[in-house]
Amino acid sequence: MKFESVNLKDKDITSEELFNNRRKFLKLGAAAVVANSAVVDLLAKDKYPTSNLNYKKDLNELNLDLSTFDQITSYNNFYEFSTGKEKVKKLSHTLKPDPWSITIDGLVEKSFQIDVSELIKKFSLEERIYRFRCVEGWSMVVPWVGFELAKLIKLASPLSAAKYIRFETLFDKEQFPDQKRGIFGAIPYPYVEGLRLDEAMNPLAILSVGLYGKTLENQNGAPIRLVVPWKYGFKSIKSISKISFVADEPLNTWQKANSKEYGFYANVNPNVDHPRWSQAKERVLGKFFKQKTQLFNGYEKEVGHLYANLDMRKYF
């Protein structure tokens, strides 16, 4: 038996190939498995980060096929750096995510500031393997690490008048080059997003501080970003510096920029097309064939009840 993997050069081979190769080896005899998995592990080490977070593992009961670390961290939407998805990674070194403080204010008993490191100490972290679907028609599967947004909401003790939650990305021209361009910037800054309070309390909504067991890379929204997996990716706001409890529906950035194309809810819905993109199908990063998009991105059981009284065609 020949061991072809021994001759493979690390740079010639993607993590996905490694994973598939490994699967093949596991089907071979025991001797081959021992010899090869050692080699494959050695090569794979380079491609995945060393974990620096303590968290409870997601058992991946749905058996979702994870996107690779490389895919998740190399193809990004983060307009504060660039509108070029493959440029963000390289440009994002100007972001300084540590230390990082978040202001909690608005309709709460008492506003306060808290450091992300404090939040991580306060709330135990857990992994959440979620599908993630961008309105542009691409998708991926990400092993996020974070905590339920509901935990932070309880900590903030909002007043009964608070009906929505509003998030803001940091505004700092030194850290985010596109914010320097004023009205010539790609979109209005700071980036703003929002959720109805009952949506925000849903256990699927998390604040993520990491992925693949490691603190977030700058390009993915370090040090803390929202993840709402049943909504289009633009709702999952990055590098959050302010969380406000408010009475009225916040005007989110994409609705402000183009209200004909973007609304507040943005629930993943294969039956309502975006004016420029059909939403019936999606391409998973790295895959050749498109797959069908699922209503609420496959999370209808968990979140469908939140929208029982909402016309999803009108409130897209």
Ligand X SMILES: Nc1nc2c(c(=O)[nH]1)N[C@H]1C(S)=C(S)[C@@H](COP(=O)(O)O)O[C@H]1N2
- Sites of contact with ligand X (CB under 6 A): 76-80, 134, 169, 191, 220-221, 233-234, 236-239
Smallest gap from Cβ 82 to ligand X, in A, equals: 9
Residues in the chain: 316
80 binds, among ligand X, Mo ion, none (CB under 5 to 8 A by kind): ligand X
Q: Nearer to ligand X by C-beta: 5 or 239?
A: 239
Closest approach, Cβ 124 to ligand X, in A, equals 23
Residue 270 contacts residue 293 (beta carbons within 8 Å): yes
Closest distance of CB 125 from ligand X, Å: 18
Distance CA 251, CA 232 (A): 16
| SS3 label, residue 90 | helix
Q: Nearest-CB residue to ligand X? A: 233
Q: Is the CB of 80 or the CB of 127 nearer to ligand X?
A: 80
Single-letter code of the amino acid located at 223: P
Q: Are strands 101-106 and 240-246 parallel, antiparallel or unpaired?
A: parallel
Helix (H, G, I), strand (E, B) or coil at 17: helix
Q: Which is nearer to ligand X, 68 or 236 (CB)?
A: 236
Using the 8-state DSSP alphabet, how is residue 158 labeled?
Answer: B
In angstroms, what is the minimal distance from the CB of 275 to ligand X? 16
Residues that bind Mo ion (CB under 5 A): 77, 134, 233-234
Look at the alpha carbons of 149, 154, 155, 156 in this order and tell me if their dihedral is positive or negative. positive
Q: What residues contact residue 176 under an 8 Å CB cut-off, 6+ apart?
A: 80, 81, 94, 95, 170, 189
Structure tokens at 236: 């999952």
Q: How far is the CB of 33 from ligand X (least distance, A)?
A: 34
Secondary structure E strands in the chain:
55-56, 101-106, 112-115, 125-133, 138-148, 164-169, 192-196, 206-211, 214-215, 225-227, 240-246, 281-284, 291-292
Instruction: Please say which residue, 100 or 132, places its beta carbon nearer to Mo ion.
Output: 132
Closest residue to Mo ion, Cβ-based?
134
Q: Residue 244: which of ligand X, Mo ion, none does it interact with, CB under 5 to 8 A by kind?
A: none
Query: Kind of pairing, strands 164-169 and 138-148?
Result: unpaired
Q: Which is nearer to ligand X, 68 or 220 (CB)?
A: 220
Choose between 22 and 231: whose C-beta lies nearer to ligand X. Answer: 231
Q: What is the DSSP letter of 267?
A: B
**Which of 49, 137 has the CB closer to Mo ion?**
137
- Taking the C-alpha atoms of residue 241 and residue 109, their distance in angstroms, rounded to an integer, is 19
Residue that has been written with the tokens 């995945």 in this structure: 48
